[in-house]
Amino acid sequence: MKEKTQVADINRSLYDFRYDEDENDFLESGITPEVIREISAEKGDPEWMTEFRLHSLEIYNKLKMPQWGPSIEGLDMDNIVTYIRPKKRMQTDWNDVPDDIKETFEKLGIPQAERESLAGVGAQYDSELVYHNVRKEVAESGVVYTDLESAMHDERYAEMIKSHFMKLVPPTDHKFAALHGAVWSGGSFVYVPKGVRLEIPLQSYFRLNARGAGQFEHTLIIVEDNAYLHFIEGCSAPKYYEASLHAGCVELYVGNNSTLRYSTIENWSKNMYNLNTKRATVGEGGKIEWVSGSFGSHVSYLYPMSILNGRGSRAEFTGITFAGEGQNLDTGAKMVHNAPDTSSYMNTRSISKSGGISTFRSSVVVNENAVGSKSSVSCESLMLDDISRSDTIPAMDIKTDKADIGHEARIGRISDEAVFYLMSRGLDENSAKALIVSGFAENVSKELPLEYAVEMNNLINIEMKGSIG
């Protein structure tokens, strides 16, 4: 197969397929108490969840739209469908999944990835999980991996869900967190018992097929002490001309001396507003590792937060962003040091092309009692033409002088001297530029879990050998 040598925009054609939806399955668009009650009734929520949804709606109506990032004026919430009834209840046998949905995920490589390299898989289509399965030996170890709603109705986990749900990300956090609290649907629940190390990853994949709709899945992961988990999240959608919305929520609880790696590859279409919220709390000696690849959506607001509450806890964020034509990707990470001897590290690369805008925001907070803590931020941005833009916006709030804090940022364009040097060695101009971009991204992109899931190669669409595109 001939290798690509031109630096092109990310190719999303593989994901730009869709199936017709029965609009009778759509709830009324807009955000009203009647719609919220109908969602709650459709899902058979316990009383506390119905009250939680309605209270979140009250908060949503009081809060203002975010003003700190890219414009989201093109998002008309009155036209967003917040819930689509599933064609069939969630299945644990792939053969029982409806044919059109099954074909969608087969094109994306989900069943093959499950067979070859995953301990468990969840697949969400529009508003609900359509498939969830976990290997027998994983379940026998005590690991729970199921959809959040089933767990909420299971007496073994109901109180655990109630005591953790939206406690890290309360509805008062911002307007779209409140929206999520009101209309959330789908998502995964993972529980890893004390002392269990799950060496093979779990994966959830989220596909939004319907036009003019929103997806509001909630992921809740609890990793007890002395345990390990790698969780992979993938996202995609076909292209429409109406705005779509993704306002999911991720809450991660990492126990003492445990490690959780959370990898995300998102390739939303260019009509998507990706307003996602992710947050982790880490106990003594624990570690959270974020690995993030952002290649899709029209506008993104995405800033995973790590709250280091235990002595010696650690957080790492590794991210890569590619902003092409018509994209304004505002991404970053937040680190909060609440205990002594904690450490955090951010390492990001961003590429912008064809007028794309990439913004990286970092926030580091070191509180008074976090003595002996360390934090380092390294962000590099590369612009491939004269019409693109890249910004770096750091924020640091250091409340003790007994901490070691560092920040490094570089923004630039491809050097004419570097291109000339490579051309003098026999490469043409496009090949030289592609080689430079590949090298620029490699130390971050190599952390992405390509070796675990076949579909990751398609979603990232970065050929490490000679090109991006």
- 15 pLDDT above the threshold of 50: no
Whether 396 is in a domain gets the answer no
Please tell me the least confidently modeled range out of 42-46, 59-63, 333-337, 340-344: 42-46
Report the DSSP pairing between strands 218-223 and 228-236: unpaired
Report the C-alpha gap between 92 and 218 in whole angstroms.
20
Kind and range of the H or E run holding 445: helix 429-445
Choice between 85 and 350, residue whose per-residue pLDDT is larger: 350
- pLDDT tens-digit series, residues 248-281: 999 999 999 999 999 887 877 788 899 999 999 9
Residue 157 tokens read as: 């986990």
- Cβ neighbors of 380 (< 8 A, separation 6 or more) are 348, 349, 350, 409, 410, 411, 440
Report the C-alpha gap between 1 and 39 in whole angstroms.
49
Please tell me the total count of domains within the chain: 1
Average pLDDT score over residue span 142-153: 90
Average pLDDT score over residue span 456-460: 38
Whether 128 is in a domain gets the answer yes
Q: Three-class SS of residue 134?
A: strand
Please tell me the least confidently modeled range out of 169-183, 371-385, 453-467: 453-467
Query: CA-CA-CA-CA torsion for 460, 464, 468, 469, nearest 10 degrees?
Result: -60
Return the closest-CA partner of residue 386 out of 350, 414, 359: 414
Q: Is residue 412 packed enough to be buried (19+ CB in 10 Å), middle (13-18) or exposed (0-12)?
A: exposed
Whether 329 is in a domain gets the answer no
Average pLDDT score over residue span 233-244: 60
- 134 pLDDT above the threshold of 80: no
- pLDDT tens-digit series, residues 284-305: 999 999 988 887 788 999 999 9
- Residue 286: which domain range? 17-302
Choice between 29 and 34, residue whose per-residue pLDDT is larger: 34
Choice between 454 and 334, residue whose per-residue pLDDT is larger: 334
- 138 pLDDT above the threshold of 60: yes
Q: Which conformational region is residue 199 in: left (phi greater than 0), alpha (psi within -120 to 50 degrees), or beta? A: alpha
Whether 175 is in a domain gets the answer yes
Choice between 41 and 458, residue whose per-residue pLDDT is larger: 41
Q: Write down the mean pLDDT value for the chain.
A: 80
Choice between 409 and 254, residue whose per-residue pLDDT is larger: 254
Please tell me the least confidently modeled range out of 267-271, 362-366, 445-449: 445-449
Whether 393 is in a domain gets the answer no
Kind and range of the H or E run holding 420: helix 416-424
Q: Three-class SS of residue 303?
A: coil
Please give the pLDDT value at position 267.
74
pLDDT over 90 for what percent of the chain?
Answer: 44
Please give the pLDDT value at position 383.
87
293 phi and psi angles, rounded to 5 deg = -120, 120
**∠ at Cα 31 (30, 32), nearest 5°?**
115
Return the closest-CA partner of residue 280 out of 261, 300, 301: 261
Whether 154 is in a domain gets the answer yes
Choice between 88 and 388, residue whose per-residue pLDDT is larger: 388
Kind and range of the H or E run holding 316: strand 314-323
Q: Is residue 71 packed enough to be buried (19+ CB in 10 Å), middle (13-18) or exposed (0-12)?
A: exposed
Please give the pLDDT value at position 36.
92
Please give the pLDDT value at position 467.
34
How many angstroms separate the Cα of 94 from the Cα of each of 204, 270, 436?
15, 30, 43
94 phi and psi angles, rounded to 5 deg = -55, -35
Please give the pLDDT value at position 20.
47
- Cβ neighbors of 154 (< 8 A, separation 6 or more) are none
Please give the pLDDT value at position 106.
57
Report the C-alpha gap between 237 and 405 in whole angstroms.
39
Query: Using 50, 70 and 90 to split pLDDT, how confident is the model at 414?
Result: confident
Beta-bridged to residue 381, according to DSSP, are: 350, 411
Return the closest-CA partner of residue 452 out of 182, 254, 201, 263: 201
Whether 48 is in a domain gets the answer yes
- 186 pLDDT above the threshold of 90: no
Residue 339 tokens read as: 């205990």
Average pLDDT score over residue span 367-384: 93
Query: Using 50, 70 and 90 to split pLDDT, how confident is the model at 4?
Result: very low
Q: By the 8 A CB rule, do 241 and 203 touch? A: no
- 296 DSSP assignment: -
Please give the pLDDT value at position 130.
58
- 309 DSSP assignment: -
- 447 pLDDT above the threshold of 80: no
Q: Which of 202-216, 232-246, 310-324 has maximum average pLDDT?
A: 310-324
Average pLDDT score over residue span 57-84: 87
- Provide the greatest CA pair distance for the chain: 71
Please give the pLDDT value at position 243.
65
- Cβ neighbors of 386 (< 8 A, separation 6 or more) are none
pLDDT over 70 for what percent of the chain?
Answer: 73
- 241 pLDDT above the threshold of 60: no
Please give the pLDDT value at position 463.
30
- pLDDT tens-digit series, residues 102-125: 455 555 555 454 444 455 555 555
